[in-house]
Amino acid sequence: MNGSTLPGTGDDESPDRVVLHVDQDCFYASCERLREPELRGEPVVVGMGYEAGETIGAVATASYEARAYGVDSAQPISQAVERLPPVERPDLGSAEDDRGHYRPVDMEFYQSVASEVKEILHDCAETVREVSIDEAYLDVTDRTSWERVDAPARASGAAEQRTLAEGFARHVRERIAREVGVPASVGVAPNMATAKIASDHDKPDGLTVVPPGTVAEFLAPLPVEEIHGVGPVRAGELRDMGIETAGDLAAADPGHLQDRFGDRGVELHERARGNDDREVTPTGLPKSLSRESSFSEATDDAEAMREKVRALAAAVAERARSKDALYRTIGIKAVTTPYDVNTRAESLSGPVDDPDLVAETALSLLTEFEDEPVRKLGVRVSNLSFTAGEQASLDGFDAVADGSGADADDPTVEREDAPAAEERSGQFSLGEFE
């Protein structure tokens, strides 16, 4: 995608970096609501250990509605679920039979949703650092700028100016909501540490922009534990020194902080002042590229499905070509009602760059689902190669259907270094504990 066509794109080079921190709000609960829309607005707890026969378990995430009942992440699951109001379940006989909206962790499904979000992030930025399944930094300095422009007039007619960076960040957040269906909070700042704080500032579904020259002012009144890198123990130690806020930390003697905490103390002092020179470094080359699109409502119109797959296949092949990527596997995703995610793929004998083959293979895989109501379709190329090499000739093409419906590499894993190994193995990660 050409960055100059996106909302909030500027042509002038800016000396200040534009960093976005994108954080999916209560991600596991949001995924469950995607699958079960009736859960929207209801207290939802996602965890493990509440099933029959289980004696130990913990909350992986709790929706904001559940938090109002005193449910917190990492809380014992039995205690958490008992705090929720009973849910009437006529199919179970009485309200007392089902306590609250508890759902067990379904990591495969969450990774599938996360992969859709990450495709958008990598489409919106050349440099993306994935931190966890639900969190990433983007350096979009080459896509937008801190230039101020007139915003569209409101009903009152009052004049207003916004930065181009805000428009770009709003575009990213709205793409995630529109194309994937889960909420995200976005922080925009000149550096990583401040962008992280900004994304937490207005949850859920928030957007906080901290332009250059305003960072120290934004940080000053915040509790000291909101400075990136200050945990509960360190916050207690700082309060023992009379340091309650980020402003206090910024005004503290860096020599005293170094005596107490070593180089870490100086680093935190700099962050409290709004200084963070770390670069957003990518977490590795992509392992797959994909495009997905939803229907306005579930459909079994075979021609409509084929038309959408043709368009998605063309877009994926063009994106692979723009990145000088060859691919060894071509696959599709079909989301059927209510929200069942199905993947099918065929593996090639060698890496190719062949848009017609992508379309042909995707359409062949689609035939399995043409009699089912489909909500969303996607086309993916994977097992990518970015180094110069010989392409497999079409004469030597020997596609092997993957009867399991999965790529040789897990199709939910988008990057070399993320999600972490424990997430790939099906365990929920600490990154989701909020």
Q: Which residues form the catalytic set?
A: 135
Q: Which residue has the tokens 């093409």?
A: 397
Is the distance from CB of 124 to CB of 111 less than 8 angstroms? no
**DSSP state, 106?**
-
| Helix (DSSP H) and strand (DSSP E) numbers for the chain | 14, 15
Residue 131: Cβ-neighbour burial (10 angstroms; 0-12, 13-18, 19+) = middle
Is the distance from CB of 185 to CB of 14 less than 8 angstroms? no
Nearest to 386 by CA among 339, 322, 325: 325
CA distances from 152 to 155, 161, 169, 274 (A): 10, 9, 16, 30
The rounded radius of gyration (Å) of the Cα atoms in the chain is 24
Is the distance from CB of 29 to CB of 164 less than 8 angstroms? no
Token reading at 237: 């130690």
Three-class HEC string of 33-62:
HHHCHHHCCCCEEEEECCCCCCCCCEEEEE
Is the distance from CB of 66 to CB of 44 less than 8 angstroms? yes
Question: Can you list the positions of beta strands (E) in 181-310?
Answer: 184-189, 207-209, 288-299
